[in-house]
């Protein structure tokens, strides 16, 4: 013990996340819920971990949020959508079909 208190780490939680339709041939709606105003990023990655699209990166108010993602230009395969905030994160797989 050094007598110095460690700062309390914020509790990270899972952000409710839904992608519809899934699988998709084109446009998909990304829905998630925040409990407070905070910086958020929503990024789509391909199977190799390469960033395909940044759907949002900035401050958002608490409540329900929806983002539209057009996957029609991409090859069929599995993609990963990740939402990250200061207090939580979540990811979901999305299948892109022909």
Domains of the chain as residue ranges with CATH: 13-96 (2.60.40.1930)
Query: pLDDT grade, residue 89 (50/70/90)?
Result: very high
CB 82 within 8 A of CB 43: yes
Contact 97, 24 (CB under 8 A): yes
Is pLDDT at 1 greater than 60 in this prediction? no
pLDDT at 38 over 90: yes
Q: Is the pLDDT of residue 94 over 80?
A: yes
pLDDT band at 6 (very low <50, low <70, confident <90, very high): low
Q: pLDDT at residue 60 above 70?
A: yes
pLDDT-above-70 percentage for the chain: 88
């Amino acid at each position: 013990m050094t007598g110095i208190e460690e700062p309390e780490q914020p509790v990270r939680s899972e952000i409710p996340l839904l992608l519809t339709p899934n699988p998709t041939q084109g446009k998909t709606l990304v829905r998630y819920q925040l409990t407070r105003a905070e910086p958020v990023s929503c990024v789509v990655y391909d199977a190799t971990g390469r960033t395909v699209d940044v759907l949002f990166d900035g401050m958002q108010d608490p409540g329900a949020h929806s983002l539209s993602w057009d996957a029609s230009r991409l090859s069929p395969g599995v993609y990963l959508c990740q939402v990250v905030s200061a207090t939580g994160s979540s990811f979901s797989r999305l299948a892109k079909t022909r």
